[in-house]
Amino acid sequence: MNPRGNQANPDVPVFPFWVEDQGLSFFLAFLIITTIFVPMVTLSRFGRIGIGLMFALMLFSGAVATIRKTILMYLVIALTVLEFAADLIVEFKPSFGHWGWDTALKICGLAILVVMTLRQTFRPGPVSVYRIMGGVAAYLLIGLTWAFGYKLLMEERPDAIHFQTFVGGIPTREPSRLIQFSFSTLTSVSYGDAYPVHRIARSLATAEALIGQLYPAILIATLVGMALQSRFVEGASPRREVLAAATTEEERREQVS
């Protein structure tokens, strides 16, 4: 899918952000700000809407730039619009958020972002530092996806995860606290201030802990394999040129003789 301005050159992508490796570094920076620095402050309504809009734009641009099947691309775009609309509705009408449909849409959007980021990280080509950044970005997205999964569960069962009492009266379903619990589980770092109680919460925590252990090993092994393959291909190309030149020279000598 190409914009009208690029009809003369169909090879120009609509969103080079997702095609060029440098785009993964900007995406990683945004995720670091979202997961580390944003929970330090209390966001205003417009701040929360702004972060939701950024995720929606990431999902929309990724769908247009990376998905080749038209029907699937339109489905992801429709999901993006519904997700952002749900965020706006719940932001101005919090009573609509008790059903958890806005959180469920957020989980679907984050899961699709994980898949698209991994596809761009492991696409054919030389391995660069930007590919490593893409792998880290996918790791952070996995933690965010599980955080909203815990939030969806706690909207139905508020006692699914036990949190110790903190000063300030912050609700346990507040995303920043669940983000901290999610990444503590993903990295297998426990401070003893929260633990899953409900059986579904325990299963989710177990699955996240397993992913947290296996993902770095699989990521490193895959990137190393891609790097070795790229070096082998680059080393084989000059040899093929030398062999081709030698064969041509030999045929020429035979013709002369």
Spatial contact of 118 and 138, defined as CB atoms under 8 Å apart: yes
Both tokens of residue 22?
């440098």
Q: What gap in Å lies between CA 117 and CA 58, rounded to an integer?
A: 10
CA distance 138 to 186: 13
Strand partners, 163: 194
Q: Are 184 and 143 in contact (CB under 8 A)?
A: no
Phi then psi for 162, rounded to 5 degrees? Answer: -90, 125
pLDDT given at position 71: 92
- Retrieve residue 38's tokens: 């944003």
Closest CA to 194 of 237, 169, 163: 163
Q: What is the pLDDT along the chain (257 residues), one digit of tens a residue?
A: 444 444 444 444 555 666 666 677 788 888 888 888 877 777 788 888 888 888 888 888 888 777 888 899 899 999 999 999 988 888 888 777 667 888 999 999 999 999 988 888 888 877 888 888 888 999 999 999 999 999 999 888 888 998 876 544 555 556 788 898 999 999 988 777 888 999 999 999 999 999 999 999 998 888 888 888 777 766 555 555 544 555 565 555 655 55
Closest CA to 133 of 236, 26, 247, 248: 26
Q: What pLDDT, on the 0 to 100 scale, is given for residue 61?
A: 83
Cα atoms found within 13 Å of the Cα of residue 127, Cβ hemisphere only = 18
Question: What pLDDT is stored for residue 234 in this prediction?
Answer: 62
pLDDT at 213: 92
Give the contacts of 31 (CB within 8 A, at least 6 positions apart): 137, 140, 141, 144
Q: In degrees rounded to 5, what are phi and psi of residue 14?
A: -65, -45
